[in-house]
């Protein structure tokens, strides 16, 4: 005679299904090639923008490439020209063992990463927010969003605030796929 499943058996099945769903979800999220935001960044881009701070405005240009060089890693590497000086920079995005994405920035590729950012990405892949709190209590906030839901125009805003929360620097740029 078949007995109906017990509550314990039912909970075990539900728990097992949740574990499998969670594992599948974590695996999917770690795949930058198929990530709803990062997969849009793969390829070559050009950017133009301006920085504002301490009563000055300076224009800049960038050329960069987004790529997935290996498992669990996404990089953006490029050159930035500002006031006649060019620098070679690199962003590296990785998923931590506990799940969140972290980013590190090398403003000069010849030096080790100097800033680490916490990364939050909208579920629909339309927007990414990054924040860093520097040792001097300066907060850097970066928002990147795809214009009009497309894949070929990325708007970027950077805001730097001092320990009191007063904005001391801002930057805006528009990146276009080559």
From first to last of the 178 residues of the chain, give the pLDDT tens digit: 444 433 333 333 333 333 333 333 333 445 788 888 999 999 999 999 999 988 899 999 999 999 999 878 999 999 999 989 999 999 999 987 777 899 999 998 888 888 899 999 998 889 999 999 988 889 999 999 998 778 899 999 999 999 999 999 999 999 999 9
Domain region containing 56:
31-177
What integer pLDDT is reported at residue 22 of this predicted model?
35
Whether residue 23 lies inside any domain: the answer is: no
* CATH code where residue 83 lies: 2.40.128.20
Tell me the pairing of strands 139-146 and 127-133.
antiparallel
- Rounded CA gap, 149 and 147, in Å? 5
Q: Are 77 and 92 in contact (CB under 8 A)?
A: no
Residues contacting residue 99 through CB under 8 Å, at least 6 positions apart: 26, 29
Number of structural domains found in the chain = 1
Whether residue 97 lies inside any domain: the answer is: yes
Whether residue 172 lies inside any domain: the answer is: yes
- Rounded CA gap, 150 and 124, in Å? 12
Q: Is the whole model's pTM more than 0.85, yes or no?
A: no
Whether residue 20 lies inside any domain: the answer is: no
- Rounded CA gap, 49 and 108, in Å? 19
- Rounded CA gap, 89 and 106, in Å? 6
Whether residue 124 lies inside any domain: the answer is: yes
Q: Which helix (H) or strand (E) holds 133?
A: strand 127-133
What integer pLDDT is reported at residue 8 of this predicted model?
34
Whether residue 151 lies inside any domain: the answer is: yes
Whether residue 75 lies inside any domain: the answer is: yes
Whether residue 121 lies inside any domain: the answer is: yes
């Amino acid at each position: 005679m078949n007995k109906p499943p017990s509550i314990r058996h039912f909970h075990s099945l539900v728990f097992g299904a949740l574990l499998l769903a969670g594992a599948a979800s974590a695996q999917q999220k770690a795949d930058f090639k198929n990530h709803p935001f990062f997969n849009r960044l793969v390829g070559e881009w050009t950017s133009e923008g301006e920085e504002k701070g301490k009563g000055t405005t300076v224009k800049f240009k960038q050329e960069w490439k987004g790529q997935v060089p290996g498992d669990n890693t996404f990089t953006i590497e490029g050159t930035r020209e500002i006031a006649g000086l060019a620098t070679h920079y690199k962003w590296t995005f990785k998923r931590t063992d506990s799940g969140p994405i972290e980013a590190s920035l090398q403003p000069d590729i010849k030096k080790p990463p100097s800033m680490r950012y916490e990364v939050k990405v909208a579920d629909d892949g339309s927007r990414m927010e990054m924040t860093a709190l520097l040792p001097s209590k300066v907060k850097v906030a970066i928002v990147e969003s795809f214009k009009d839901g497309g894949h070929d125009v990325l708007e970027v805003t950077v805001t730097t605030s001092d320990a009191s929360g007063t904005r001391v620097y801002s930057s805006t740029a528009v990146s276009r796929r080559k």
